[in-house]
Amino acid sequence: MGKFRSSVRIVMTASLVCAHPIAPARADTQLPAPYVSRALDAVLMPIDGKVRRAFNLSPKADGVYVVSVQPGGVAAKNDIRPGDVISRVKGKDVVKPIDLDTAVYYWIKHGTTDFVFDGYRGQTIYHPRSSITLALFDAAIDLATIATWGSVSYSGFSYSSYYSEYSVSITESYSSSETTIETTASSESYSSEAVSASEETTSFEQEEASEKVESEESAESEEAEQQAQSDDHDDKDDGDKDDDKDDGDKDDDGGDDKPDDGGDNDGDGGGDEGDGGSPDAYR
């Protein structure tokens, strides 16, 4: 990351700083300072009570709030949108925005480039997947363009005012985050925590996958059993119909015998059935 420091384009002049003084006169100043994520090419905001109220988030929402995303950046290409909440990455809780970058950087340095984030979109849990290489992570972000990025649109919140409010701190935090990320991710204590969190997540995902397979197999077995019962019921109905048909044949035979007997009893002495049934027999 040392080479990256010299390549960062920070287009901030003294006149720009003077043009946007920090004036705590608006409601926006009550919100936490933004952070530019190297991993996602997005502006993130730590979630606290003020953020939950300002953006009508769930009281249980935690992690970071996606304020804006760079067009064509990592977040934009992986369906991470302004207004999303990200709470974990590879099982590691995200409390501050820099926690997300640190976790991603740590795993990139250990050969992982595919990431699944845990988060929310509105009231729906979702898990956006992202492919983040070291080259993408180290790519320079032109801070002068952040004011034009696609941002969250919410009643009472002005992204342009929010950006202007914190334009200086955005520059400072972006410059200092590089060293902080590298130092934290290189420590043994962080490595131990990251590996432990990842193993727990992997174990949980395996259990979920196993339960899903068992559930699908149970559903298939139940469906097969229901189909078998349905087939047995159909066979029984067919058998009843055959029995009814046989009974009908017997009834027909009985009906044929009765007129024959009547013909014989009329005293024709076994004469032809035609004679027994003729009008002359009843004269």
What's the pLDDT score for residue 106?
97
Choice among 32-41, 70-79, 175-184, 248-257 with the minimum mean pLDDT: 248-257
Give the whole-angstrom CA distance, residue 115 versus residue 107: 9
Least Cα distance to 149 among 163, 136, 139, 135 occurs for 163
Q: Report which residue type is found at 258.
A: K
Is the pLDDT confidence value at 145 over 80? yes
Q: Is the dihedral of CA 36, 38, 41, 45 positive or negative?
A: negative
Residue 216 has pLDDT above 80, yes or no: no
pLDDT score of 269 more than 60 = no
Question: 58 to each of 61, 82, 100, 187, how far by Cα in Å?
Answer: 5, 16, 21, 34
Could you report the per-residue pLDDT of 154-189, keeping only the tens digit for each? 888 999 999 999 999 999 999 999 999 999 999 999
Q: Of 172 and 245, which is predicted with more confidence?
A: 172
What does the pLDDT average to over 72-93? 95
Identify whether the C-beta of residue 44 lies closer than 8 Å to the C-beta of residue 35.
yes
> Distance between CA 127 and CA 116 in Å, rounded?
6
Does pLDDT of 256 surpass 80?
no
Q: What percent of the chain has pLDDT over 90?
A: 55
Is the pLDDT higher at 253 or at 140? 140
- Stretch among 187-201, 223-237, 241-255, 262-276 having the lowest mean pLDDT: 262-276
Residue with tokens 């076994």: 270
| Residue 230 confidence (pLDDT) above 80 | no
Q: Model confidence over 10-30: pLDDT tens digits?
A: 333 323 222 333 333 344 458
Closest CA to 146 of 134, 162, 157: 162
Query: Could you tell me whether strands 150-151 and 92-93 are parallel, antiparallel, or unpaired per DSSP bridges?
Result: unpaired
Of 39, 169, 36, 55, the C-alpha closest to 92 is 39
Contacts 24+ apart (CB under 8 A), 233-238: none
Looking at mean pLDDT, say which of 14-28, 192-206, 242-256 comes out highest. Answer: 192-206
Phi, psi of 69 (to 5 degrees): -130, 145
- Across 61-70, 86-95, 178-187, 196-205, least confident range: 196-205
Burial 9-34 (b: 16+ CB within 10 A, else e): eeebeeeeeeeeeeeeeeebeebbbb
Cα–Cα distance measured from residue 206 to residue 225, given in angstroms and rounded to the nearest whole number = 29
Q: Which residues pair with 43 in a beta bridge?
A: 36, 68
Mean pLDDT of all residues belonging to the chain: 77
**Structure pTM?**
0.64
Higher pLDDT, 158 or 229: 158
Task: Give the tokens for residue 203.
Answer: 């174990």
Higher pLDDT, 243 or 83: 83
Q: In whole angstroms, what is the distance from residue 91 CA to residue 204 CA?
A: 10
Q: Which are the contacts of 67, defined by CB distance < 8 A and separation ≥ 6? A: 34, 42, 43, 44, 45, 82, 151, 152, 159, 162
Residue 181: predicted pLDDT: 97
Residue with tokens 């002005």: 158
